[in-house]
Structure 1
Amino acid sequence: MATCTVALTAIDSSSRQSLEYSSANQSPESDDEAPRMSLLRKLAVIIQLSGVNFASSAVNGLVVVGLPTITADLKLDPSLAFWPTSVSSLANASTILLAGSVADSIGPRPVNIAGGVVTGAFILAAGACKTGPQLIVMRALQGIGYAMHLVSSVAIVTHTLPRGRPRNFAFSCLGLSQPLGFSFGLVLGGILQDLIGWRAAWYIYGGLTLALSVVAAWALPNFQNEGTFKGTMRNLKVRVDWVGALLASIFMTLLSYLFAIRDPKSIVFICLIAMSLPLFVGWVHRQVKLGKPALIPNALWKDTAFSSICGTVALSFGVTTCMELFASLFFQEVQHLSPLQTGLRIMPSLLVGVALNVTTGLFVHRVPALWIVTVSSIICSVAPLLMAVIKVQSPYWANAFIAQVLAPMSTDVLFTVGLIIISDNFPDNTQALAGAVFNTASQLGQALTLGIMQIVSTLVTKDYSDKILPMARLEGLRASFWTMFGFMMLCTLWGAIGLRNTGRVGLKRD
């Protein structure tokens, strides 16, 4: 709390200084709103935005640590065993671009409040589910609500805090809340699951999210693009690229779902994917040519820093998510540890995540982005490599502990660096869409990487079906860890090439 107060005091000073400049792309509320907000209100905004991230990520931790128990209790079909983990990311990736466009057109405040209410309500509903399919549906709806929160959070930060250290710090808080929440979900979920069952923690985090939505109603500032009902409807009609958002959502939904199914009908999805992508590209080109709203102008992808950071974010976030899930499965299904013991073994990533997010936000403007991204990716790649060669009886401190320490290195750094680079490529009046693009990359990367790892693990486990189940499962996990290592090497190469001409980011503009 003391750190936040000191940083926000600096924000007040920087906010006054930011009034001295303006740019063609800057939205008027960016300058007008920040000086009028008190220190307490700014602190409440950051806590609220980070708090919903914390609670949603904690629920992801609950799913990871409690997946074996939940699937058994709800009698979830084995073919759907991974859906409680992946369906939220799939729904999030499918709706986040549309949510970003809507937030830019009607204002991020109502979208953020609505997103918090939807997320909290369906976390509570998931905790009350009686069947596996019900849980999958509730997790999908939770992902839609969280998409609304994510994109509006980025817009709120960029409109209320000036570029430079204050905004970098706020982005770091948003990034910090996710690994922090996930780790708390692992630990609290493990403790409560052993004591009173897996549902209790879901009720806690659902209630916390709804409480934070009440805080948002007081703390979040009003923006100039918020107006009357008639004006809101007009903005939705004129400023949102509905066709582009629909085509993008169809493409991402089909692509994510493709990796979650394995049957002869997959060829249908492949054909639909092959059709939807060129349709989206062609539609956006038409919109730009006619001077109409375009979801993501094609010219943006010619910026190597922008396109490479999207790719590295997707790979890094996907590998980190898979490391968390597959390490948990190794501890529980191979080493036969309890959920609580599993949660404690994944805890080191919490401490590393806290340290990385704080230091990245404070010093990202001092080091070239190329070195930040490539070095962190190389270090992170060691984590799946250690898990790929681990043995059943290996002491925790030999491989698994070091892997947990190194696993968040890339993702937690990229959260701040990626948000800065992507938001700087969008005008200030489309910052929610900028957040949507960033989170689309991360969520889609998580869904696709998780789907690939599931396929690899399942196929290799079947090949070793002549062994006893824990050993066959270990071989499947090993293959997945090797695949993750390859993905991180690709992430390192992609970042090194794409960011080679990128200097320092997150600098204050005078």
Structure 2
Amino acid sequence: MSTTQTETILLQPTHSHVAKVGPVPVENGNNSSAEDVRLVTTNQSSRLQQVLVTIQLFMVTLTPSVTNGIVTVGLPTITEDLKLPPSLAFWPASVNSLATASTLLLAGSIADAVGPRWVELIGSFAGGAFMIAQGAARTGEELVGLRAIQGVGLALHLSSSVALITQIMPSGRGRNLAFSFLGLSQPLGFSLGLVLGGVLIDTIGWRAGWYLAGGITILFTVIGLWALPKGRRVYQRSDVMHNIKTKIDWIGALLASAFMALLCYLLAILSSDPSRIKQKDSIIILCFTVMALPLFVFWVHRQVKINRPALIPNSLWKNKSFSTICATIALSYAVINSMELFTSLFFQEVQHLSALQASIRILPSLVVGVLMNVAMGLFVDRIPAVWIVTVTSFLCAGSPLLMAVIQPSWPYWANAFVGQLLQPVSVDALFTVGLIVITDVFPDDTQALAGAVFNTAAQFGSALGMAILQVISTLITEDRSYKEEVQARMDGYRASFWTMFGFMILCMVIGFLGLRKTGKVGLKRD
């Protein structure tokens, strides 16, 4: 039988770009050679693995956010059921984020040193197990402690997830879509938690939400055992120990973690009672917080000078795109999480709606969030980053503005509905743009740290913004004590909405000035 020379395309097992190889003889007819079949199978397995990894990371990021939403909408019921003392009343909602923010940078350094696969699996399994344990908590103290440990597991997952995506997908639309779905998972999960919490609290109870979320997390952890890539390099035990000793900036990570932990703790206690800033323990914490930041800056400067590993070299902050993205992400996350909380409080505490009715009114933001993330994944590489950030921040600013001028007697469709449509626009766009920019700034062997830096900016912004806005709301409400209770509370919420509007205008200005020369991001590179 005669043969012809045809050109075969070989797809790399973990990359989407193609490379041509020389002519391969193929017999005429319908029969393909074994090598052709093997190449096609490899291609299909690679695409399947990319999809499975994206789904696995999406679901493991979504489920903790669901529990955060349930805590937010169900905190009064949970506090009553577990007889949580007033001194700990705010901790179920805040301790998870505090633990995550405090350990992200250290988790990212460890994932880069030992490989992200097992760090991801350990983090996701721990998160799922401790979610189930929270559902069985007998006291408020148990719930707070379990949520803190779950936050550490979430830090391991968030930092390693970015490294896994950059490992399995090259720059281009596939990676952009994966980043956009990661960005969708947190606000979508939180909003789903608000809705699910409203349903569960009015029906079978809040504990079922933790059992459901924990079970789903463990299921996808098992899937991850098969789906997650083993990496380009197999780490031997001696390699792991050597990397842990020589490639991790332990002092820098501990200083950064201490700064984040102390600051988040201080903000958390002040958000419930601003007068505590005058107490000795708060002053001591503030002093240590102020000391930790310059010590960290000095330490990483020293590490770079003696050519040793530095957690975040100070020179990175001179990169306008990097510093701008960190600032805008922090501001955007401060607004999105606070908007969800204060809007829910407005519906329940001012308009006297049930938790379920309040949750239903938040649903439009879910739809917009999904559409926005898909659109960003598909088109982020076609529009200059400066216009994506500036325009979406401007649109998002309309959400708190509408809620700041709303009257409790107005129907839902007048202001609140449009506010819900605009609410997720900025954060969903910034997550995709931000991850692309930050992962491009960091070297290939520190992509987990890149993910940790990005998520630290988001967690820091969320904690700082929530604390500032709760303090503003509390102070204004107390100052209006001469008014009727609901009206005084509404004045406090209104002041917080105006502050959120200012945050988004600041986000728009920083994005415009800092990203003017960045151009398009997420372009495919061969």
Q: Give me the TM-score of the superposition, normalised by structure 2.
A: 0.89
Match of residue 248 from structure 2: 240
Alignment of 1:268-417 (within 5 A): 268-417=284-433
**Matched residue type, 1:81:** A
**Deviation of the 1:12 alpha carbon:** 7.6
Which residue, out of 442, 446, 461, partners 1:430? 446
CA distance 1:469–1:136, shift in 2 (3 Å)? farther
2:42 corresponds to 1:17 = no
Q: 1:149 aligns with which of 144, 157, 180?
A: 157
In structure 2, relative to structure 1, the CA distance for the partners of 1:294 and 1:78 (3 Å cut) is same
Contact preservation (8 Å) 2:165, 2:178: yes
Q: Is the 8 A contact 1:187 1:343 kept in 2?
A: yes
CA distance in 2, matches of 1:16, 1:204: 35
Question: Is this contact kept in 2: 1:106–1:225, CA < 8 A?
Answer: no
Residue equivalent to 1:5: none
Answer whether contact 1:89 1:443 (CA < 8 A) is retained.
yes
Indicate yes or no: 2:64 matched with 1:73. Answer: no
| Residue 496 (structure 1) shift | 1.2
Match of 1:465 among 481, 488, 507: 481
Separation in structure 1 between the aligned mates of residue 82 and residue 504 of structure 2, nearest angstrom? 35
Q: Is the 1:388–1:478 contact (alpha carbons within 8 Å) kept by the matching residues of 2?
A: yes
2:273 alignment counterpart: none
1:127 aligns with 135
Is the CA contact (8 Å cut-off) linking 2:84 and 2:141 kept in structure 1? yes
Is 2:104–2:155's contact at 8 Å kept on the other side of the alignment? Answer: yes
How far off its partner does 1:134 sit?
Answer: 2.2
User: Contact 2:73–2:355 (CA<8 Å) still a contact in 1?
Assistant: yes
C-alpha separation in 2, matches of 1:98 and 1:316: 24
1:198 matches 2:206: yes
Question: How big is each residue's C-alpha offset from its partner over 1:238-280, in whole Å with a ceiling of 9 and x where there is no partner?
Answer: 1111000000001111111221224223222221122111111
Size of the alignment, in residue pairs? Answer: 487
- What is the Cα deviation at residue 132 of structure 1? 2.3
SS of aligned partner of 1:38 = helix
Aligned-partner residue type, residue 434 of structure 2: G
Q: Which aligned segments of 4 or more residues in structure 1 are displaced greater than 6 angstroms?
A: 11-14
Q: Aligned partner of 1:466: which letter?
A: Y
1:58 offset after TM fit, Å? 1.1
Question: What CA deviation, in whole Å up to 9, does each residue of 1:372-398 have, x standing for no partner?
Answer: 001111111111111112222221111
**In structure 2, C-alpha distance between the alignment counterparts of 1:345 and 1:480, rounded to whole Å:** 20
CA contact (8 A) 1:18 1:162 kept: no
Give the aligned partner of residue 456 of structure 2.
440
Range with greater deviation from structure 2 (259-268 or 346-355): 259-268
- Residue identity opposite 1:391 in structure 2: Q
Q: C-alpha displacement at 1:355, in angstroms?
A: 0.5
Q: Greater CA radius of gyration, 1 or 2? A: 2
Determine the structure 1 residue equivalent to 2:31.
none
Q: Relative to 1, partners in 2 of residues 1:17 and 1:437: Cα closer, same or farther, differing over 3 Å? A: same
CA distance in 2, matches of 1:455, 1:251: 21
C-alpha separation between the residues in 2 aligned to 1:142 and 1:385? Answer: 35
Q: Equivalents in 2 of 1:122, 1:160: separation in Å?
A: 29
| 1:99 alignment counterpart | 107
Match among 139, 145, 148 for residue 137 of structure 1: 145
Give yes or no for contact 2:15–2:169 (8 Å, CA) kept in 1.
Answer: yes
SS of residue paired to 1:347: helix
Decide which moves more: 434-443 or 463-472: 463-472
Q: Tell me the residue number matched to 1:178.
A: 186
Matched, 1:61 2:61: no
Deviations 1:130-173 (A, max 9, x none): 22232222222111111110111000000110101111011111
Q: In 1, are the aligned partners of 2:124 and 2:218 still within 8 Å (CA)?
A: yes
Cα deviation, 1:265-305, whole Å, max 9, x if unaligned, reads 32222211221111111111111111111100111000011
For the 8 Å contact 2:332–2:504, the answer to whether it is kept is yes
CA RMSD between the two structures? 1.8
Task: Name the CA distance, whole Å, in 1 between partners of 2:344 and 2:190.
Answer: 13
Local SS of the residue matching 1:61:
helix
CA distance in 1, matches of 2:420, 2:90: 22
TM-superposed CA distance for 1:47, in Å, is 0.9
The answer to whether the 8 A contact 1:226-1:232 is kept is no
Give 1:72 shift. Answer: 2.4
Change over 3 Å in CA distance of 1:135–1:222 after alignment to 2:
same
Structure 1, gaps ≥5 residues long: 1-10, 21-33
Indicate whether 1:256 and 2:272 are aligned.
Answer: no
Amino acid of the residue matched to residue 266 of structure 2?
L
CA contact (8 A) 1:284 1:294 kept: yes
Quote the Cα distance in structure 1 between the aligned partners of 2:91 and 2:440.
35
Matched residue of 1:392: which SS?
A: coil
> Does 1:418 find its partner at 2:426?
no
Displacement after TM superposition at 1:312 (Å): 0.3
- Kept in 1, the 8 Å contact 2:400–2:501? The answer is yes
Distance in 1 (alpha carbons) for counterparts of 2:264 and 2:170: 36
Matching residue's letter, 1:244? G
Contact 2:438 2:454 in 1 (8 A): yes
Residues in 2 aligned to 1:324 and 1:149: alpha-carbon distance in whole angstroms: 24
Deviation of the 1:226 alpha carbon: 4.2
Shift of 1:35: 6.5
CA distance in structure 2 between the partners assigned to 1:80 and 1:454 by the alignment: 16
Return the letter of the residue paired with 2:446.
T
1:118 CA drift (Å): 1.1
Conserved in 2, the CA contact under 8 Å of 1:14 and 1:166?
no
- Preserved contact between residue 13 and residue 43 of structure 2 (Cα < 8 Å): no
Partner of 1:188: 196
User: 2:16, 2:169 within 8 Å by CA — same for their partners in 1?
Assistant: no
Contact 2:50 2:169 (C-alpha < 8 Å) held by counterparts: no
* Cα distance in 2 between the residues matched to 1:152 and 1:404: 32
Structure 1 pair 481/362, CA: closer, same or farther in 2 (3 Å)? Answer: same
Deviation at 1:424, TM superposition (A): 0.3
| Equivalence for 2:30 | none
Q: 1-side partners of 2:302 and 2:233: how far apart?
A: 26
Which residue of the partner structure matches residue 36 of structure 2?
Answer: none
> In 2, distance between residues paired with 1:205 and 1:94?
23
Task: Identify the residue that residue 6 of structure 1 maps to in structure 2.
Answer: none
Q: Contact conserved, 1:120 with 1:210, CA < 8 A, in 2?
A: yes
